[in-house]
Chains A and B, each alone.
Chain A
Amino acid sequence: MTVTAPPREAPAPPPPARPSAGRRAWNLWVRWWRRLTAMRTAIILLFLLALAAIPGSLLPQRSLSQSAVARYFADHPTLAPVLDRFYLFDVFSSPWFAAVYLLLFVSLVGCVLPRAAEHYRALRTPPPAAPRNLLRLPDSARVDTPLEGTAALDAVDEELRVRRYRVVRREGPGGPELSAEKGYAKEAGNLLFHLSLVALLVALAGGKLWGYEGSILVTEGQGFCNVFQQYDTYSSGPLVEGGDLAPLCVDLEDFRAEYEDDLTASSFRADILFGGPGEEGRPQTIGVNDPLRADGARVYLTGHGYAPRFTVVTPGGRTVEDVSAPFLPTEQSTMASEGALKLPDLNGDADSQLAIQGFFAPTGVVQNGILTSVDPRPLEPQVAIVAYQGYLGLDTGRPQSVYSIDAEQIDRGALSRVGSANLAIGETLTLPDGTAITFTGYSQFAALQLSHDPGQVWVLVSAIAVLVGLLAMLLLRRERVFARVGPAAGSGGTVLTVGSLTRGGGEGGERFTALTDDLRAALAARVPARPTPPAGGAPPDPEVPTP
C-alpha cells in the first residue's frame, strides 16, 4: 500500500464514517478468527503441540513417578523449583499445554464446521456446469463418434453412473453437456476425522473428570474393598464422590510367577475372588494383559513380591505368630527385596516397640556374611534382618514409609539397633533382652490396581471413527468429469469432448485413460444398433474406427 499526500486544493473527501466501537470490535474479532482458523495456523499449532510434549518426556513427570521427581529435586535443588514453577513436572496437565491443544481444537472446529456446512450444500446441489474449454483440464480427450449428440452423451452418462458418479445433463452454450462428480465421501471422511478428534478429546476429559484409580498391595489370603481409605495410593477426578465407587471387594487367594529356563518371567497369575461387599466372591484368575473387568471397574495385576513371615516371642512370654509385611523388590531379575516390619504394640509401652528392617532373597547366597539373591524363584528363601527397639515415632504426625524405618528416630536416639542376623527358614535371632525373632516363611503379595474410566469406551469409539475418517479422506478421490458434444466438422458425426479434474489426488491420468477407453468401447457398441445413418452421412462402417 502506498500513501500519498492528498493535493492541497482538492476538497477534503468526506471522512469515512468512523465505525462504531462495537463494529470495530467485531471486525477485529473476525480478523483474528480468520487468522486462527487458517490452515497455516493449524500447522503452527500442531508444531507447538509437538514441541510442548517434549519436556514431558525428557523431565520426570509426577503423573508417572513421584519418586523420580523427588530424586530430580534432590539432584538439582536450585533448578528444580524453577522448572516446577513452569509446570515442567506436570506438563500434560499444565495450563500452557492445555492452551496449545485447546487453541488447536478451537481452530479445528472453526475450520471444519464451515467446511461441513459447505459440504452439506454441495451434497444438495448438482455438480457445477462444465468449464468452457474442457481441453484445458488436466486430463481431457476428444472422441469422434458417428452417434448423434444425445445418444453419445447417453453413453457417457451410463458409463459414469456405473462408476457411481452423480450425473447431471444441461443444455450449455456450447451444446448439450454433462457434469458428473463422485468422491463426496472423501470430504465426509475429512469431516469425520477432524470432528472425531474433538470427540476423542471430550471423551478423554470426561474420563479424567469422572474416573478414579487406586492401588494396593495385597498379600495372599487378604483382600480389599473399593473405598479410597483402603488404598495405598489413589487418585480421582474432581467430580468423583466417595459414594460413586463401584461396590467391589477382591480377595487374593494365590499368586504364581513362572519363569523360563533363562529366568525370563513368562507369566504372572493371581487367583482372586471378587464380588460386592458381603457377597460370596466369584473366582477368577487375572494376569498381565488379562485384567478383571466387572461392573465398570477393572482390576489389574501390576506387580508382585514377597512378604516374609516372622514369629516373635517376648521375654514376657507374649507370642506374635506369623506376622508379615510386604518387601518391595529392588531388583526384578532376582526379586531381591527390602522392607520393614513394625510392631508398635508388642510390649504395650511406647518405648519398647520393636521393628525389623530387612532384606529378603528368594534364593539366597551368603558370601562373606553378605546375603544376595541369585534367582527370582523361592528356592532357598533367606532374610538379612536388623532389629531395632525403642520408640518408632508412628504417632508423631510425621508421615513415614511402611517399607522402611524412620531414620530420624534412629539419629535422634529414640530407636536403637539391638541385633542383626542372616536367617534361613526356621532360624531365630535372639535379642539381648531375650526377644526371639524367628523367620517362619513367606507369602507372596500382588500389586493390584483398580481403575474406573467412564470415558474409555468413548475414546475407543472416537479413535475408530478417527481412523475410518482418515482412511476415507486419504484413499478416496474427489473427481469431476465433464463432457460436451458438438457436431463434427464436415462428416456429420459428433465430437465428444471429455475432461476430468481430480481434487487433491495427484494423478488422475491412468484412470482417465481407462475411462476414455471404456467410453470409446461403449460408443462403439452402440453404433451398430442404430439402423440408419445420420442424414447425408456415409453408411457407418461396421468396424467403427477408433480415433
Chain B
Amino acid sequence: MTVDTTLADLSDTLFSVSVGLYSLAVVAFCAQLAFGARPAAQRELVGAGAPVAPAADTAAPAAEPPNVRRYGAAAMVLTVLGALAHAGVLLFRGLAADRLPWGNMYEFATAVVLVAVVSFAVLAVRRPALRHLGIFVLAPVVLSMVAIGLFLYAEAGPLVAALRSSWLAVHVSTAILGFGIFFVSGIASVMYLLRVRHDARVAAGTATAGGLLDRLPSPVAIDRVAHRTAVFGFPIWTFAVIAGAIWAESAWGRFWGWDPKETWAFIAWVVYAAYLHARTTAGWRGRAAAWVNVVGLGVMVFNLLYVNMVSTGLHSYAGVE
C-alpha cells in the first residue's frame, strides 16, 4: 500500500482553505455581534428549585436590522463552507492512505474540531439566536486548527498493526464525536459563566450594559445548550469508553489496565457524570455546575495533548513529528 501524494496534498490544501473560511466566519460573526442591536430585555425564569420549564428561547432579538442579519447569515454560510473543506481534509486523507482518517493525533484532533463545528452549525440552524455564540465557538476552532496544523501535523501514512481493527472505526469515531460535542458544551458553559458574571456586574453597577456580552443569548438559554450537548455527548462518550475496553481486550489482553489514556478517559467520564448530577442538584445548579463542565473540557483537552505527547502508554498514537 502506498500513499497517494496528490490526494494527501489536496487534503493539506483543504486544511488551509478551511482555516481561511473559518477565519472569515469569525469576522462575519464579529460584525453581527458588533453591529447587532442589543436584544430586548429577556424574560428569564430562574427556577426556584422546582423543574420549571423555562421560557422558549426568547433571546432572538425581535428585530435585527437586515444588514446585521445578513452578517449572521454570511457567517453561517462561511462556517458551513469551512466545514465542507474541513470534511474534505479528512476525506482525502483517508483516500490517500486508503484507511479511516483517524490514525494519528493530527487526524484525530482535526476530526474532533470538525465535529464541534458541525454540532454548533446544527444548533445554530435550529435556533438562530445561538448564532450570537458563533464567534466564541469559531475563534477557538480557528486557534485549535492553527495549533493542530503547527504542532500535530503528521504526513499521511499507513496504520501500525495494532490499529488495524474494525474497533478503530467504532471506538475512535465515537470518541471523536463525544469529544467534539463536549467541546461545544464546554464553550457554552464558559460563555454562560462570562455572561452571568457580566450581568452581576451590570446589576452591581460596576460594568455597563451594552457590550458584546449583552448580545449573547440569555444565560438560561446558554446554560441549556451546555446541558443539552453534554447530555447528548455523555452516552456517546460512555459508549466510546466501553468500545475501547472491548478493543483493548482483544489487542492488549485486558479490557482495562489504567494505561494513562484509559485513566484520563475515566476521569473525564466521572467529571461529566458529576456535571450531570450537579445540574440536577440544588445548590450546584448554575455556576458551580458550569464550572464542572469547564473542568470536563479541560480534562478532555489534557487527555488529547498531554497524555498523547508526554506520557508513554500503549495508546502512543505514533506520528507526532
A residues contacting B by CB (< 8 A) are: 39-40, 42-43, 46-47, 49-50, 53-54, 56-58, 61, 63-64, 91-92, 138-139, 204, 213, 260-262, 264-268, 287-291, 298, 300, 302, 449, 451, 453, 456, 459-460, 463-464, 466-467, 470-471, 474, 502-509
Contact = CB atoms under 8 A, between A and B. Distances in A.
Contact of A43 (B258, B277, B313): B277
B253 A504 contact: no
A353 to B, nearest CB: 37
Contacts of B2: 261
B250 interface: yes
Shortest Cβ-Cβ A-B pairs, 10 listed: A138-B53, A300-B253, A46-B274, A57-B263, A57-B260, A289-B165, A39-B281, A50-B270, A50-B267, A260-B158
Interface of B: 1-2, 51-54, 56, 157-162, 164-165, 167, 224, 227-228, 231, 234-235, 238-239, 242, 245-247, 249-260, 263-264, 266-267, 270-271, 273-274, 277-278, 280-281, 283-284, 292, 299, 307, 311, 313
A40 B160 contact: no
Given A47-B274, A470-B234, A509-B53, A266 B158 contact: yes
Contacts of A261: 1-2
Contacts of A502: 51, 53
Given A470-B238, A508-B53, A302 B253 contact: yes
A107 to B, nearest CB: 11
Given A43-B274, A57-B307, A466-B238, 19 more contacts: A39-B277, A39-B280, A40-B283, A43-B284, A46-B277, A47-B271, A53-B267, A63-B257, A64-B313, A138-B53, A139-B53, A213-B254, A261-B1, A288-B161, A289-B167, A291-B253, A456-B249, A463-B242, A474-B231
Nearest to B271: A50
A56 B263 contact: yes
B238 A467 contact: yes
B250 A289 contact: yes
B164 A266 contact: yes
Q: Is the interface of A mostly helix, strand, loop or mixed?
A: mixed
A439 B65 CA distance: 86
Given A463-B245, A507-B53, A288 B267 contact: no
17 contacts: A47-B270, A47-B274, A50-B299, A53-B270, A54-B263, A56-B263, A64-B257, A213-B253, A262-B158, A264-B158, A268-B161, A287-B161, A289-B162, A289-B167, A463-B242, A467-B238, A506-B228
B21 to A, nearest CB: 33
Nearest to B251: A289
A46 B263 contact: no
A474 B235 contact: yes
A289 B248 CA distance: 8
B273 A264 contact: no
Contacts of B234: 470, 474
Given A289-B251, A451-B253, A470-B234, A40 B274 contact: no
Contact of A54 (B161, B267, B274, B280): B267
Contact of B270 (A46, A300, A508): A46
B161 A262 contact: no
Contacts of A453: 254
Contacts of A505: 51
A453 B252 CA distance: 14
A264 B160 contact: yes
A267 B263 contact: no
B311 A57 contact: yes
Contacts of B239: 467
Contacts of B273: 46
B264 A262 contact: no
Contacts of B281: 39-40, 43
Contacts of A508: 53
A63 B165 contact: no
A47 B274 CA distance: 7
B255 A456 contact: yes
A265 B274 contact: no
A64 B258 contact: yes
A462 to B, nearest CB: 10
A529 B8 CA distance: 70
Contacts of B56: 507, 509
B283 A506 contact: no
A42, A138, A139, A289: residue with the most chain B Cβ atoms closer than 10 Å: A289
Nearest to B168: A289
A290 B167 CA distance: 12
Nearest to A139: B53
Contacts of B242: 463-464, 466-467
B250 A260 contact: no
B160 A265 contact: yes
B94 to A, nearest CB: 16
A505 B249 CA distance: 37
Given A46-B274, A466-B238, A474-B235, A504 B158 contact: no
